Amino acid sequence: MADDFLLRPATADDAADIKALIRLVRINPMALDWRRFLLASSADGRLAACVQVKPHADETLELASLAVRPAWRGRGLARRLVEQLLSQSPRPIHLTCRSGLESFYQKFGFRTLAADELTPYFRRLQKLANKMMRFFRDGETLLVMRLDE
């Protein structure tokens, strides 16, 4: 299946498509700077999936905005995007995810952080998100994970 899509850096022309995909899959629509995105495009050039590395003011880096168009799920795009992004990103790198996705990220070496390991930014984010998730997701919580090497 790897042959029916192309991994490439985003261009300015992709900005609207990235935002539309993020809205479609209903993940955080904040801080979507196309210059930080890696894309998976179909053979006809349409956006199939995306991911970014987002820098924070405290100098942490976050793997963020991993989104796969529903018609393209199950073909390895998320895995390939994460592998490619990690191959070119410095460490440590953080991410946030629903608890149901923990095992996916563990395959890349990410580990879930305990509360006392969180930076102030991720501590605030996790606290706020977990309050909100109680109303929307049955039993799921927001995890903060980190890859050190």
Domain map (residue ranges) of the chain: 1-90, 91-149
What fold does the segment set 1-90 form as a domain?
Aminopeptidase (3.40.630)
pLDDT of residue 34: 97
pLDDT bucket at 65, cuts 50 / 70 / 90? very high
Give the up-direction half-sphere exposure of residue 35: CA atoms within 13 A in the CB hemisphere.
Answer: 1
Q: What angle do CA 19, 24, 25 make, to 5 degrees?
A: 105
Relative to beta strand 37-42, strand 5-9 is antiparallel
Share of the chain above pLDDT 70, in %: 95
pLDDT(118) > 50: yes
C-alpha span between 52 and 66 (Å, rounded): 7
Token readout for 116 is 């006392």
Asked if residue 1 has pLDDT above 50, the reply is no
Reduced to 3 states (helix: H, G, I; strand: E, B; else coil), residue 136 is helix
Percent of the chain residues past pLDDT 90, beyond the cut? 75
* Arithmetic mean of pLDDT over the chain: 92
User: pTM surpassing 0.85?
Assistant: yes
Give yes or no for a cis peptide into 92 (omega within 30° of 0): yes
Residue type, 20: A
pLDDT on residue 128: 85
| Half-sphere exposure in the Cβ direction for 110 (13 Å, CA) | 25
